Amino acid sequence: MNETLNLLVGMAMGLNLLALGSGRLPTLIRTVALQGMTLGIMPLLIEPRFEWPVVLVSFATVVGKGWIIPSLLRRAMRTANIDREIEPFIGFVPSLLLGAGGTIAAVALSRALPLLPEHAGSMLVPGALASVLTGFVLLIGRTKAISQVCGYLILENGIYLFGLLLIQATPLLVDAGILLDVTVGVFVIGIIVDRIQRAFDSLDTRKLTVLRE
Amino acid sequence: MNSLLLIFIPFAGALLAAAWPSDRTRPWLLPIVGLAHTVIVLCLMVSPQAVDPASWIAFDPLARAVLPAVSILFLCCAVYGVYYLRLRPERPNRVFVSMLLTVLGLLSAGHQSRHLGLLWMSTEAVTLASVPLIHFNGTPRAFEATWKYLLVGGTGIALSLLGSFCLGYASLRGGGSGDLTFTALMSQGSRLSQPWVLTAWVLLLIGYGTKMGLAPMHTWKPDTYGEAPGIVGAMLAGGVTTVAFTAILRVHAVLVASGNGLIADRTLIGLGLLSMFVAALFLLGTRDFKRMLAYSSVEQMGVLSIGAGLGGAGLWAALFHVWSNSLTKGSLFLSAGNIRRAAGARTTDEVSGMSTLTPRSALLFVTGMFAITACPPFGPFFSELLIVRTGFASGHAVASGLFLGCLFLAFIGLTRLVFAIVDGRPRAESRAAGKRFPETAGMILPSVVLLALSLWLGLFTPEILRHAWSAAVSQLFPSS
């Protein structure tokens, strides 16, 4: 069970690098969706018994992260009719190097944090830290609003990975609430993206420079 | 009296507002719900009930010490809101009114949350619910501010979730059950896994510090407060920031219980001083009087953070300061909104002589400015004096000296800007705009009431509030 889980975490970490290297918005959105679905399956692997609430959260995650959120983003992209190429602040090669360095640092850092015996050998902590770092690189290093939202989603995915360590301890109500919050959050972001597009006729956040000291 | 009513009444009001057909009468729901909320809060404050330690949500001593201030602030803003929305008939207010009520409900939930996950959910939901409030004006600048608010606030709040999980894992690793109620975490004390507790503290401090607006995570604040309507600024500065502050207080108590009190205190004092210093520098430079209020708010958050870092007596003073800051800041935001509307602009390059165009608001604005810069005899003077005295008494002489220096710089910055706005001859453009927005009683009185309450708080701090603050301190530091 642990091996399968680690395989999936490794896949999510690979998808991080793919997200950092992708030069087109649809690819980036698809990568984030795939990562979300990978994450959604994990609770089923961790919880050994078949329990309805876990299945429900797992299903909701797969649908939410894999289908609802990406289709919201795609719709925003279509209505905004934006150029599909991603223009980076931080180039693709430097982003990839940062991502790879971050992944190595995450593995090293997680050695310093003591784990429970049943989590020993699990890749969840390094996977979580690497995803959080990847999310930050995308948030800082991309200029289009939608690619920044994708960065935010990868950051959230990292936190979700970490949350899996606690899945047996925290009531699922909390997990469900968190998932709901994230979905509503992306929905609200989608609306704002739409308004920014109408107000500025662009989704290039470099144009949002009126407010500064 | 059930404290859950504090959450459900505003939510019911929000639903009603969403269904209410008329744009003209809908805003009256704000003061009606606000009044009900204040009455219930005051009843609960007067007759506190025993709290089940394991409960996830309760009107516990900390909520009792802070939530009434938020409720009173909301009531005054709500009255102002009725008259404000009357001036804006061209914009539909359905979403605005219902979201403002939702924010009140979520603030009540956040202040009463005794569970880390629940607290996180309420804070995140407040962030999202306030988004439509910020871009109410619908200008491109407002959307720019909203985007920055969402992105910076969203990232911060995400990190605080990660911090919450780390604290949960600290409990699991330490042999606990991973129960995320603050009572359970505090009772586990030094058995919590130390590396995880410290990781959690860093992440939670960054996360809730972003929401509070501590430097260097304050960057969303000037944009948001500058573009949002006055009542929204008042609620953000006096209500939303206090939820983040109480969140930090609750986590800080866990840190103290786990034996890391010294580190936690030092980081709070350090961040507080940095916030005060950064705010003072920007206050000396800015030319925009709504952004000025934002930097002043960053400064006040620094004051709170330093107070909280000074231990029991400092915490008591910080809770006092939550009250004086919420009331005074509320008054300032409302009078600044009046001036901004009548002047049609916000920077010293375009605005001057407002004492002849809007004499009452200008008087309130100047008085409020003196109050917030800790001039006697208003609330902030007494609460900040107490923090400084605690600082010197507890051997933090350098920090207290820097604290006073930053207050002085901020005073220079604020007076410079406020008098540039108020004095002199009004501009021709402002004269035309000023005629369209006369000062009515509904736009002046809420600000007067808030300022009067701040004065009353300073001169005659009521015994019941002193008790409430002491009870909150002994909730957070049970051993002392």
Domain parsing of chain B, residue ranges: 5-476
Confidence (pLDDT) at A173? 59
A169 closest CB neighbour out of B177, B193, B195:
B177
Q: Which residue of chain A is at minimal alpha-carbon distance from B199? A: A113
How much is the pLDDT for A143?
80
Res. B41: pLDDT tops 70: yes
More confident site: B16 or B479: B16
Closest Cβ opposite residue A152 in set B135, B154, B179: B154
Convert the pLDDT of each residue in B419-464 to its tens digit: 999 988 888 777 776 677 778 888 999 999 999 999 999 999 999 9
State mean pLDDT over B133-147.
88
What pLDDT shows up at residue B318?
A: 96
CB contact under 8 A, B223 and A114: no
Q: In chain A, where are the structural domains located? A: 2-207
A162-182 pLDDT per residue, tens: 888 887 777 665 666 666 667
When CB atoms are compared, the residue of B143, B193, B199 closest to A195 is: B143
Chain A residues within an 8 Å CB radius of B143: 192, 195-196, 199-200
What integer best gives the mean pLDDT of chain B? 92
Q: What pLDDT, in 10s, does the model give residues A35-83?
A: 999 998 888 888 777 778 788 888 888 888 888 888 888 887 777 666 6
State the pLDDT at residue B346: 86
pLDDT tens readout for residues B229-245? 999 999 999 999 999 99
Question: What's the average model confidence in pLDDT over B384-401?
Answer: 94
Q: Which of A148, A170, A211 is facing B168, going by the closest CB pair?
A: A170
- Selected residues 167-196 of chain A with any CB under 8 Å from a CB in chain B: 168-170, 174, 177-178, 181, 184-185, 188-189, 192, 195-196
Instruction: Collect contacts of A86-90 with beta carbons under 8 A, ≥24 apart.
Output: A86/A22, A86/A23, A86/A24, A86/A25, A86/A28, A86/A142, A86/A143, A86/A144, A86/A147, A87/A142, A87/A143, A87/A144, A87/A204, A88/A141, A88/A142, A88/A143, A89/A140, A89/A141, A89/A142, A89/A143, A90/A137, A90/A140, A90/A141
Q: Rounded to an integer, what distance in angstroms lies between the CA atom of residue A138 and that of residue A151?
A: 5
**How many helices and strands in chain A, by DSSP H and E?**
8, 0
Nearest CA in chain B to A206: B144
Q: Which of A16-20, A66-70, B58-62, B211-215 has the weakest average pLDDT?
A: A66-70
With an 8 Å Cβ cutoff, is A119 touching chain B?
no
Mutation test of the interface with chain B: which of A125, A170, A205, choosing the one with the most B Cβ atoms within 10 A? A170
pLDDT for A1: 57
pLDDT recorded at residue B198: 94
Q: Are the beta carbons of A192 and B177 separated by less than 8 Å?
A: no
Lowest mean pLDDT among A83-87, B111-115, B287-291, B376-380: A83-87
* pLDDT of amino acid B295: 95
Most B CBs within 10 Å, among A122, A124, A181, A212, to test the B interface: A181
B222–A113 CB contact, under 8 Å? no
Residue B218 has pLDDT above 70, yes or no: yes
Which residues does B276 contact at the CB level (< 8 Å), separation at least 6? Answer: B299, B302, B303, B306, B402, B403, B406, B407, B410
CB A147 within 8 A of CB A138: yes
Name the least confident of A116-120, A189-193, B198-202.
A189-193
- Calculate mean pLDDT across residues A77-98: 79
Q: What is the pLDDT at residue B52?
A: 87
Spell out which residues of chain B touch residue A112, defining contact as CB-CB under 8 Å.
Answer: 195
User: What pLDDT is stored for residue A127 in this prediction?
Assistant: 93
Q: Decide if B153 contacts B211 (C-beta within 8 A).
A: yes
Give residue A210's pLDDT: 67
pLDDT at B283 over 80: yes
Q: Please say whether the beta carbons of B111 and B67 come within 8 A.
A: yes
The least confident of A143-152, B21-30, B104-113, B379-388 is A143-152
Mean pLDDT of the region B260-267: 94
**Residue pLDDT, tens place only, B313-348:** 999 999 999 999 999 999 999 999 999 988 888 888
B197: nearest CA in chain A? A113
Instruction: Give how far Cα A27 sits from Cα of A18, A22, A74, A184, B451, Å.
Output: 9, 6, 11, 23, 55
Instruction: Choose the closest CB to A192 out of B140, B146, B169.
Output: B146
d(CA B218, CA B220): 6
Q: pLDDT (tens digit, 9 = 90+) per residue, B149-199? A: 988 888 898 899 899 989 999 998 888 887 889 999 999 988 999 999 999
Q: Mean pLDDT in chain A?
A: 82
Band of residue B246 on the pLDDT scale cut at 50, 70, 90: very high
Helix axes B441-459, B359-372, angle to 10 degrees: 30
> Between the ranges A61-70, A105-114, B279-288, B431-440, where is the mean pLDDT highest?
B279-288
Q: How far apart are CA B125 and CA B117, in angstroms?
A: 12
How many beta-carbon contacts under 8 Å exist across A and B? 117
Closest approach of A117 to chain B, Cα-based (Å): 9
Is B408 strand, coil or helix?
A: helix
Helix (H, G, I), strand (E, B) or coil at A142: strand
* pLDDT level of residue B257 (50, 70, 90 thresholds): very high
pLDDT score, position A122:
84
